């Protein structure tokens, strides 16, 4: 646990505040923003539909070999390139970015791979992000790099819907179920990416077997973005690994638009970045992805 190591260095008056926040979070379901609550409600309806369906063919898909994201990220570091997980993102709540059908998703993903992306993230949440399982399946058939399924996973049945190499698990939503879902993900052949936003969620993530920790710079309670979230939490993960002879891969998520943003979070300790909106909005998928992958080329020239 990180709390014994980290809290010792904190001012004592903050300890009770963290305990209080932990208690409140567990009582109020992490007090998510209303939009996030709507997404969760929509996801619950999707799960109810899954409970009424059986599709053994989908379960056979899970036996395909997993593409190694951890090795790929480490290799990028050796190449002095940024490990960019580029996202096929049709929309965010209330903001459509691009109409993306399966054919489009494959074309976009191939451009991302050609530009040097270490992996591709594919939105599969249909109502608010306009994603689809068909988009994900099309992408995975057309590229060779690892694929992350980006969705609101709240039930084990969702793990049998389709094949991906990584799957996003949001600590703030899963709460006490996080450890169970991490173990199920491993059993199903996924590499779980556990997303956290604060110390309490980080402590919970570090109690699991997950090796990938995503630091979401967006607060799901307010939807505000602050890159300092990565600057504050990444060193704590590095400290934990140093003290416990462990190794985690840190991925900074949300609010990353420029090379300056990328350098900021990498310098803070992030091993990779997940970027969606800025790549899709740019229009030139290849050029924008390559610009971010080659971030350090610019700063070496300065």
Mean pLDDT of 65-80: 95
Q: How far apart are CA 35 and CA 93, in angstroms?
A: 8
Tally of domains in the chain: 1
Choose the catalytic residue: 185, 252, 254, 278: 254
Distance, in Å, from the CA atom of 257 to the CA atom of 288, rounded to the nearest integer, reads 10
Confidence of residue 58 (pLDDT cuts 50, 70, 90): low
Grade residue 13 by pLDDT with cuts at 50, 70 and 90: very low
* Closest alpha carbon to 122 in 130, 40, 81: 130
Is 195 among the catalytic positions?
yes
Determine which helix (DSSP H) or strand (DSSP E) holds 88, and give its type and residue range. strand 83-88
Has residue 9 got a pLDDT over 80?
no
Residue matched to tokens 């991302």: 112
**Active-site hit among 89, 111, 113, 288:** 89
Cα distance between residue 153 and residue 101, in whole Å: 22
* Statement: residue 94 has pLDDT above 60: yes
- Catalytic-residue membership of 176: no
Summarize the confidence of residues 144-167 as an average pLDDT.
97
Mean pLDDT of the chain: 88
Residue whose structure tokens are 């993230």: 121
Residue from 121, 138, 216, 217 carrying the catalytic annotation: 216
Asked if 262 contacts 285 with a C-beta cutoff of 8 angstroms, the reply is no
Kindly report whether the global pTM for this prediction surpasses the value 0.85.
Answer: yes
Q: How buried is residue 131: exposed, middle or buried, by Cβ count under 10 Å (0-12/13-18/19+)? A: buried
Told to judge if 253 belongs to the known catalytic residues of this protein, a careful annotator would answer: yes
pLDDT tens per residue, range 231-274 = 999 999 999 999 999 999 999 999 999 999 999 999 999 999 99
The predicted-structure confidence for 116-153, as pLDDT tens digits, reads as follows 999 999 999 999 999 999 999 999 999 999 999 999 99
Here the CATH number for the domain that contains residue 47 is: 3.20.20.70
Please say if 121 is a catalytic residue.
Answer: no
In this predicted structure, what is the pLDDT of residue 132? 97
250 pairs with which residues across the strands?
213
Going by their DSSP bridges, the two strands 119-123 and 83-88 should be labelled as parallel
Name which of 276, 175, 167, 299 is nearest 225 in CA terms: 276
Does the annotation mark 87 as catalytic?
yes
Name the nearest CA neighbour of 156 among 138, 169, 175.
169
State percent of the chain over pLDDT 90: 77
Helix (H, G, I), strand (E, B) or coil at 288: helix
Inter-residue contact 87 to 120 (CB < 8 Å) = yes
Report d(CA 56, CA 65) in Å as an integer: 18
> Would you state the pLDDT for residue 147?
98
Radius of gyration over every alpha carbon of the chain, rounded to an integer in angstroms: 19
Tokens 């990565």 locate to 230
Specify the DSSP element, H or E, that contains 149.
strand 147-150
Q: State the residue for tokens 């091993």.
A: 271
Q: Which of 137, 191, 253, 291 is catalytic?
A: 253
Number of H helices, E strands in the chain: 15, 10
Return all residues near 194 (Cβ < 8 A) that are at least 6 apart: 169, 171, 178, 182, 205, 208, 210, 212, 213, 214
**Residue in 76, 81, 87, 278 annotated catalytic:** 87
Query: Using an 8 Å Cβ cutoff, are 249 and 211 in contact?
Result: yes
The residue annotated as part of the active site, out of 195, 201, 203, 291, is 195
pLDDT in tens, 176-210: 999 999 999 999 999 999 999 999 999 999 999 99
> How do the residues of the chain divide into helix, strand and coil, expressed in percent and rounded to 5?
55, 15, 30
* Residue range(s) defining the domain that contains residue 17: 3-301
> What's the CA gap between 132 and 149, in Å, rounded?
10
């Amino acid at each position: 646990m990180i709390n014994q190591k980290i809290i010792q260095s904190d001012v004592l008056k903050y300890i009770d505040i963290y305990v209080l926040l932990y208690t409140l979070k567990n009582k109020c379901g992490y007090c998510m923003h209303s939009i996030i609550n709507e997404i969760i409600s929509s996801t619950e309806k999707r799960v109810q539909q899954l409970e009424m369906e059986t599709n053994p063919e989908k379960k056979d898909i899970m036996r395909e070999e997993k593409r190694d994201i951890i090795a790929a990220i480490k290799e990028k570091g050796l190449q002095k390139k940024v490990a960019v997980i580029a996202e096929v993102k049709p929309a965010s709540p209330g903001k459509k970015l691009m109409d993306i059908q399966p054919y489009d998703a494959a074309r976009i993903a191939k451009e991302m791979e050609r530009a040097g992306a270490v992996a591709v993230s594919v939105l599969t949440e249909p109502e608010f992000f306009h994603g689809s399982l068909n988009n994900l399946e099309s992408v995975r058939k057309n590229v060779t790099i690892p694929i992350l399924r980006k969705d609101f996973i709240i039930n084990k049945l969702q793990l049998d819907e389709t094949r991906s190499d990584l799957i996003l698990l949001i600590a703030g939503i899963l709460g006490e179920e996080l450890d169970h879902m991490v173990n199920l993900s491993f059993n199903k052949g996924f590499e779980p990416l556990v997303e956290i936003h604060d110390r309490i969620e980080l402590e919970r993530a570090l109690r699991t077997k997950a090796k990938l920790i995503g630091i979401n710079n967006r607060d799901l309670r307010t939807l505000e973005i602050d890159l300092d979230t990565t600057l504050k939490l990444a060193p704590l993960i590095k400290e934990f690994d140093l003290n416990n002879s462990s190794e985690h891969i840190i991925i900074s998520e949300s609010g990353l638009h420029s090379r300056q943003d990328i350098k900021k979070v990498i310098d803070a300790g992030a091993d990779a970045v997940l970027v969606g909106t800025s790549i899709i909005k740019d229009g030139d998928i290849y050029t924008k992805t390559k610009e971010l992958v080659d971030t350090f080329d610019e700063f070496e020239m300065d």
